[in-house]
Amino acid sequence: MSEAILTIKNVSKRFGHYQALSELSLTVNRGDIYGLIGENGAGKTTLMRLIIGLSALHQGQITLLGENAGHYQQALRRTGAIIESPAAFPGLTVLQNLTLTAKQHGLAEPDLIAETIAFVGLTEKTHTKAKHLSLGQRQRLGLAIAILPRPDFLILDEPINGLDPAGIIEFRQLIARLNTERHTTILIASHILSELYQVATRFGIIHHGHLIKQLSKAELDEANRVGLMITVDQVQLASQTLDQAGFETFSVLDDHRIWLPQAHPDTGHINQLLVSQGIVVTALIQQSGSLEQYYTTLIAKEDNTHA
């Protein structure tokens, strides 16, 4: 069973008469890259601020790394966050900023700072003041500050806002490496859904302060009918061949077509496999919807229901 790193149960938050979050529940499991999606003002930042105790929780329950909000002892030490803007001091160099963070956390390992600077690709900028870094470099310095104490859990609010395409790809790769190499569980909010799709393993969609959907990437792909459509002359034989080759889930749609759900980058291999059995393959077509399409359709349905 998956271990929950963050559990949010029935959390509501009001600002005066304004209901920013309503009875919101979600779970982030160890190893997830959990993508939080929602339009401007949906409540993502409000939720992130509640999680790390920047804002007081009055209704509902938040459990972070086994401790309840309001009674955190170790949970915040094990959590890194970039919420709103990165925490670097503009007049300090990259090295000075990280030295300060190390002191604040009582970290004395001599190689940790240089390793972290290298991890985010800022070695050449070690002695450059934060205010002289480009936006992308400043974002990476913010990330370095957040990950220096090697947190188990990382919260990132719109970390790629304003970055150029190359900067976005670099940042996405850093997030993926943190997750695979350092096993960091990550909660990330972003409006750039095509990027979020590429990095996240689960998604939560917030709309007007409600969580309207939580789903895994596989469920999203299934809902979007992401998969491979194969058209052949002998559907029976093709089905047996795929079965024997270990393809577990596929459906025979009619006399000629087989549907393999989820993305299959190995179309060449599948083609070869079928052709080697004397099957004529007339088409192998990858079909894909997008997270953006899924999200806009869901929001439109939701708004219609409540119109």
- Residues interacting with ligand ATP, by CB under 6 A? 15, 18, 20, 38, 40-46
Least distance from C-beta 16 to ligand ATP, angstroms?
A: 7
| Beta carbon nearer to ligand ATP, 26 or 274 | 26
**Encoding tokens for residue 273?**
């496999």
| Beta carbon nearer to ligand ATP, 45 or 184 | 45
| Beta carbon nearer to ligand ATP, 45 or 93 | 45
**How far apart (Å, rounded) are the C-alpha atoms in residues 195 and 290?**
11
| Beta carbon nearer to ligand ATP, 20 or 220 | 20
Least distance from C-beta 47 to ligand ATP, angstroms?
A: 7
Least distance from C-beta 20 to ligand ATP, angstroms?
A: 4
Least distance from C-beta 196 to ligand ATP, angstroms?
A: 13
- CA–CA distances in Å: residue 158 to residues 48, 84, 199: 11, 7, 14
**How far apart (Å, rounded) are the C-alpha atoms in residues 54 and 75?**
14
| Beta carbon nearer to ligand ATP, 20 or 102 | 20
Tell me the helix, strand and coil percentages in the chain, rounded to 5: 35, 30, 35
> Residue 188 CB: number of other CB atoms within 10 A?
25
**How far apart (Å, rounded) are the C-alpha atoms in residues 47 and 23?**
12
The conformation of residue 2, written as its DSSP 8-state character, comes to P
Least distance from C-beta 36 to ligand ATP, angstroms?
A: 8
